[in-house]
Structure 1
Amino acid sequence: MFLSCLQINAMKKYLILGMAMMVFSCSKKQSATTTQPTAVEKETIFVEKPVENINPENEPNQSSTPQGTSLDSKNEDSGLKDLSGKHPLTLQWISWDKPGSINFKKTAENEYQVSGSQKRGSDYLKIEGKVIQISGKELAFEGTVETNIKSNGGKCLRTGPQTFLATQKRKYWRMQNMVECFGLTDYVDIYF
């Protein structure tokens, strides 16, 4: 392919302009070592404030845990607490004030078969599957998470591996795959 004289001249101009910018940039960096940082170079830090109460617009209070929670006994082999038994289970679209429950049945060291639900009218959350306790802050789940929230679009079925994490000072593990079938955000929480 042949280039026209105009295209060659344009390429020369861009090459010369690029080289001039590199020279200017290098000389500018050498003199900038003694100057104050610009506003662009400063960092902004955001601090999350704890939630004070429970209502549909807020998350559950981080300092409280629904009744029925038990993590008193530790697993002797791993140092992790035994999760066997019932734990509160919530989906924010249904209620944080009236949790359902999920039952953990131990099948091996740090492994549990789980089954649970939360219901309000025709709306529901159902969880069935297997949990491996990775740490006090992380659960690996394999199974199904089914929700049916009529006002959000109806039934949504998620299958396969999911991760539940307890971040910051929260007293619950939250499912990290938060985007449900209709693009909304679900907060599926299992309490300690």
Structure 2
Amino acid sequence: MRIRSTLSAVLLCALTAPAHADAVPEPTRVLDHKAAQRLAANKGLTLQWIDWNTRGTAAIRRDNGVWSLRGAQAGAGGPGRLFLDGTITEIGAGYFTFEGRIAISDTPDAGRRCDKTKTWHFAVTQNRPYYRLREFEWCDGLTDYIDIHF
């Protein structure tokens, strides 16, 4: 029984480990300190397919000059899920770049799966109170609005 629970813990760690765990990232380039403070104090994230009223979490961690972002949102009473995990490589006035994984599952339709690791771009446009993912149709032609609110 103890071997099974240890194996389960190891598998859980392997499945939830960040995609960037093997690489030692460069320190985050902070070009605008006010924007960095705004991002660090964010008020959660949303994917329009899940719910704009019930925000998920977007946790920012700073470790030796490297900023990381890990976020998630789950549909209340539904199967939809959003997950982000990676490193913020640059923060500028009205934007940030993020290198890591974004995964969407079971939304807007059951069985939909989008999962990609790459460099992503988020920006504030039209004075909106959030950073929006700028790669809109990155998966299967649907437009996914992923927003990190401030």
Q: Given the two structures, how large is their TM-score scaled by the length of structure 1? A: 0.54
- Tell whether the 8 Å contact from 1:173 to 1:191 is kept in structure 2 after alignment: yes
Name whichever structure is richer in strand by fraction. Answer: 2
- Tell whether the 8 Å contact from 1:85 to 1:105 is kept in structure 2 after alignment: no
| Paired residues for 1:47-58 under 5 Å | none
Partner of 1:177: 135
Partner of 1:98: 54
- Tell whether the 8 Å contact from 2:84 to 2:100 is kept in structure 1 after alignment: yes
- Tell whether the 8 Å contact from 2:32 to 2:91 is kept in structure 1 after alignment: no
Q: Which has the larger radius of gyration?
A: 1
Paired letter, 2:121: T
Partner of 2:85: 128
Relative to structure 2, which stretch is displaced further, 148-157 or 115-124? 148-157
Q: What do the CA deviations read for 1:30-66 (whole angstroms, capped 9, x no partner)?
A: xxxxxxxxxxxxxxxxxxxxxxxxxxxxxxxxxxxxx
Matching residue within 63, 68, 73 for 1:107: 63
Q: Is residue 161 of structure 1 aligned with residue 131 of structure 2? A: no
> Structure 1 unaligned runs (5+)?
1-76
Once residues 189 and 123 of structure 1 are traced to their aligned partners in structure 2, the CA distance between those partners, rounded to angstroms, is 16
Pick 1 or 2: higher relative contact order, CA cutoff 8 A, min separation 6: 2
Change over 3 Å in CA distance of 1:137–1:117 after alignment to 2: same
The residue matched to 1:151 in structure 2 has which SS? Answer: coil
Give how far 1:168 is off. 1.4
Give how far 1:150 is off. 5.4
Give how far 1:159 is off. 1.2
May I ask how many residue pairs the two structures share in their alignment?
115
Q: Is residue 88 of structure 1 aligned with residue 44 of structure 2? A: yes
Paired letter, 2:89: I
Q: After TM superposition, which residue ranges in structure 1, 4 or more long, deviate above 6 angstroms?
A: none
Partner of 1:144: 101
| Paired residues for 1:22-61 under 5 Å | none
Once residues 152 and 188 of structure 1 are traced to their aligned partners in structure 2, the CA distance between those partners, rounded to angstroms, is 19
Q: Percent identity?
A: 31
Once residues 68 and 41 of structure 2 are traced to their aligned partners in structure 1, the CA distance between those partners, rounded to angstroms, is 11
Change over 3 Å in CA distance of 1:185–1:152 after alignment to 2: farther
> Structure 2 unaligned runs (5+)?
1-30
